[in-house]
Amino acid sequence: MEAQIITDRQHWDDFVAASVCCNITQSYAWGELAQHVGAIEPLRVGVVDDAGNLCAAMLLLVTRAPILNKIYFYAPRGPVIDNPNSPAMTVLLNFVKAEARKRGAFMLEIEPSVADDDTIWQQALKRIGFRTNLFAKHVRHEWVLDIRPDEKTLLSGMKEKWRYNIRLAGRKGVTVRRGQGQADLDTFYRIYETTSERDQFHINSKAHYEDIMRLYGEGDHAALFLAEYEGQAIAGTIVLTFGRWSWYMFGASSNEQRERMPNHLLQWTGMQWAKEHGCWYYNFRGIPDVLEEGQELWGVYVFKRGFGGYPMRSLETHDLVYNPLLYEAYRKLLDVKRWRDEQRRKKSVAVHA
């Protein structure tokens, strides 16, 4: 077997989609979003066996560390390999190390799509030389719903109020339609800007969402849904699918007509669409790391939990160090950032108390 840069999109996606480590952020198209997430370029490294079949893959985002202005590699929810003790893992990491040497990268940072209690992965990464890093880029704790049961069973698994709100939205004149074209995306983004201002979270430029819809719209792996009342859009969602998984990626809601519960109907519509496309799981994405009232994202968690499902926590971030001096400087900068973020959070809590 040998490692190489993979340029065959279908070959890559077929392998990643079928893996137990499947994640949308390791799909081929995700690398084309590199510029929107602060990366310089993508590297798609795969290991092929003697028959030409992929047996390991890792989408790397070549990233420049702020202040240090030095390069490192980041694998969002990678690598994709069913057995971390496989010889393919060694071949993969040796190739990546050689690429790091060429580019002057000081580390490889990975966040595998693996459960945090997976001792096989934990031991394998420790044996290889990875170090744990508490500062995660990708939210580790997510809420997931198994959507394989029939719709009646799914509805019965929701909290009664959530079933009621789904029906209520329809009775109160809310309709949901699938968005098409630039005008509908413009409408979604306008509402999304309102949501970010109200709930105080960062969103990317409109071009980011345009590219997502363009890249994943091919093959019908992306859907924009708009909830409308009397002809006016009042909320929207973007849902992506890949393999057996679907993700509620982005949600937007206006400040008006919120009592008509458009978001409940939107989520139900997204689940139905994902189910129709052969998905087994609907990932609501981020929830608080600690499930205690008062935590950041607590309200979001309560909303997602009402639809049924279970929490899924991924393995913590792991770093493979190539340049110890630069890496130590990087970790110190992360400590400073973590302290500043905590002070900012405490200040925000005090202001809204």
- In percent, how much of the chain has pLDDT > 90? 84
Instruction: Give the global pTM.
Output: 0.93
Mean pLDDT across 296-320: 95
> In whole angstroms, what is the distance from residue 236 CA to residue 252 CA?
5
* Cα–Cα nearest to 104, from 131, 135, 133, 64: 64
pLDDT at 84 over 60: yes
Structure tokens at 198: 């109200």
Instruction: Report the range out of 32-46, 80-94, 336-350 with the highest average pLDDT.
Output: 80-94
> What 3-state class would DSSP assign to 262?
helix
Q: Give 180-225 as a DSSP string.
A: -HHHHHHHHHHHHHHHHHHHT-----HHHHHHHHHHHHTTT-EEEE
Mean pLDDT across 260-275: 96
| Maximum distance among all Cα pairs of the chain, rounded to whole angstroms | 63
Q: Given the DSSP bridges, would you call strands 70-75 and 222-229 parallel, antiparallel or unpaired?
A: unpaired
> In whole angstroms, what is the distance from residue 87 CA to residue 44 CA?
19
Mean pLDDT across 138-165: 97
Per-residue b or e along 3-33, where b marks 16 or more CB atoms closer than 10 Å to that residue's CB: beebeeeebbbebbbebebbbbbbbbbbbeb
**Helix H or strand E encompassing 286:** strand 281-286
pLDDT at 186 over 80: yes
pLDDT at 351 over 70: no
Find the angle CA(38)-CA(39)-CA(40) to the nearest 5 degrees: 125
Question: Are 337 and 134 a contacting pair, CB within 8 Å?
Answer: no
Q: What is the pLDDT of residue 350?
A: 56
Q: What is the pLDDT of residue 294?
A: 85
Quick one: pLDDT band at residue 260, thresholds 50, 70, 90?
confident
Question: Are 300 and 287 a contacting pair, CB within 8 Å?
Answer: yes
Half-sphere exposure of 34 toward its Cβ, with a 13 Å CA cutoff?
A: 19
* Cα–Cα nearest to 265, from 222, 308, 307: 307
Q: What is the pLDDT of residue 341?
A: 73
Mean pLDDT across 33-41: 90
Average pLDDT, the chain: 94
> In whole angstroms, what is the distance from residue 295 CA to residue 277 CA?
35
pLDDT at 11 over 60: yes
- Chain-centre distance for alpha carbon 237: 15
Per residue in 224-233, pLDDT tens? 999 999 999 9
* Cα–Cα nearest to 108, from 326, 322, 340: 322
- Does the N-terminal peptide bond of residue 79 adopt cis geometry, omega within 30 degrees of 0? yes
Q: What is the pLDDT of residue 352?
A: 47
Q: What is the pLDDT of residue 43?
A: 97
To which CATH superfamily is domain 148-279 assigned?
Answer: Gcn5-related N-acetyltransferase (GNAT) (3.40.630.30)
Q: What is the pLDDT of residue 19?
A: 95
Half-sphere exposure of 22 toward its Cβ, with a 13 Å CA cutoff?
A: 19
- 327 by Cβ neighbours in 10 Å (0-12 / 13-18 / 19+) ranks as buried
338 or 125: whose pLDDT is higher?
Answer: 125
Quick one: pLDDT band at residue 345, thresholds 50, 70, 90?
low
Domain 2-140+314-352 in this protein, CATH class: alpha beta
Mean pLDDT across 7-31: 96
The domain spans of the chain are: 2-140+314-352, 148-279
Question: Are 130 and 37 a contacting pair, CB within 8 Å?
Answer: no
